[in-house]
């Protein structure tokens, strides 16, 4: 049974989808812990599903390295087989990525390598493209630059706002993420650097 740690910063709707999938008896992975870099709304989903959680507030540390060290210590306590970044709005320090790579995957609300970074949805809208997408990638020490595990195109509507477009992207992200976690757990999908 693949053990998974999920890291979040926000509402955790993608986390919730993963928690619901992992509750199904035939799902070959289970979420063992949820971590956050702040007092994220999404931690409430972990509590509802009876999953342990922890918070390592980024602001409580002098720098990214110190934050990453504590985050790594907390994760090591659970020694997860896989770490899923699901709306974590922080770059992990290279030292942490190096320790867990390639067993860290991330969801991104764009069709990478298009529109990497923290504002993929906003950037796609600003670019006036007719379609964007959702991607699941292996986390490397770049910004959304790791190997692409799954992605799918999503149309941009003329009257889209960042919110309406993001809400159309998230369900696709969730479906791709759940499928990627399932395929990693069954060994069908091998993680490479
Ligand atoms: C997702 O679109 C994720 O890809 C992006 O932030 C969003 C998080 O949404 N990094 P939620 O917190 O899962 O609702």
* pLDDT 10s digits, 42-52: 999 999 999 99
Using an 8 Å Cβ cutoff, are 108 and 174 in contact? no
Query: Does the CB atom of residue 108 touch ligand 1 within 6 A?
Result: yes
Query: Does the CB atom of residue 109 touch ligand 1 within 6 A?
Result: yes
Query: Does the CB atom of residue 11 touch ligand 1 within 6 A?
Result: yes
Query: Does the CB atom of residue 106 touch ligand 1 within 6 A?
Result: no
Superfamily of domain 2-186: Formyl transferase, N-terminal domain (3.40.50.170)
The percent of residues above 90 in pLDDT, for the chain, comes to 98
Spell 44-64 as b/e; 16+ CB within 10 A means b. Answer: ebbeebebebbebebeebeeb
pLDDT digits (tens, 9 = 90+) for 121-171: 999 999 999 999 999 999 999 999 999 999 999 999 999 999 999 999 999
Q: Residue 61 C-alpha to ligand 1 middle, in angstroms?
A: 24
Query: Does the CB atom of residue 86 touch ligand 1 within 6 A?
Result: yes
Task: Report residue 133 as tokens.
Answer: 């997408």
In this prediction, residue 81 has a pLDDT band, given cuts at 50, 70 and 90, of: very high
In this prediction, residue 5 has a pLDDT band, given cuts at 50, 70 and 90, of: very high
Cis peptide before 86 (omega within 30 of 0): no
List the catalytic residues: 108
Domain boundaries, the chain: 2-186
Closest residue to atom 14 of ligand 1, CA basis: 13
Starting at the edge strand that comes first in sequence, how are the strands of the sheet with 82-85 ordered?
Answer: 53-55, 29-36, 2-8, 82-85, 104-108, 131-138, 148-155
User: Chain-wide mean pLDDT for the chain?
Assistant: 96
Closest residue to atom 7 of ligand 1, CA basis: 87
Closest residue to atom 4 of ligand 1, CA basis: 108
The H or E element spanning position 179 is helix 162-185
Cis peptide before 113 (omega within 30 of 0): yes
**Is the pLDDT reported for residue 64 higher than 90?**
yes
């Amino acid at each position: 049974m693949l053990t998974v740690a999920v890291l979040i910063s926000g509402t955790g709707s993608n986390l919730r989808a993963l928690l619901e999938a992992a509750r199904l008896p035939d799902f070959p992975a289970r979420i063992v812990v949820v971590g956050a870099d702040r007092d994220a709304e999404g931690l409430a989903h972990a509590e509802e599903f009876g999953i342990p959680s922890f918070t390592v507030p980024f602001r409580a540390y002098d720098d990214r390295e110190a934050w990453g060290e504590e985050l790594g210590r907390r994760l090591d306590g659970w020694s997860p087989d896989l770490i899923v970044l699901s709306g974590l709005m922080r770059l992990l320090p290279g030292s942490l990525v190096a320790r867990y790579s390639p067993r860290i995957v991330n969801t991104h609300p764009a069709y990478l390598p298009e529109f990497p970074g923290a504002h993929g949805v906003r950037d796609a809208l600003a670019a006036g493209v007719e379609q964007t997408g959702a991607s699941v990638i292996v986390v490397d020490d770049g910004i959304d630059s790791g190997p692409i595990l799954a992605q799918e195109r999503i149309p941009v509507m003329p009257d889209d706002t960042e919110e309406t477009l993001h809400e159309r992207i998230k369900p696709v992200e969730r479906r791709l993420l759940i499928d990627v976690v399932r395929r990693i757990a069954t060994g069908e999908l091998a993680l490479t650097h």
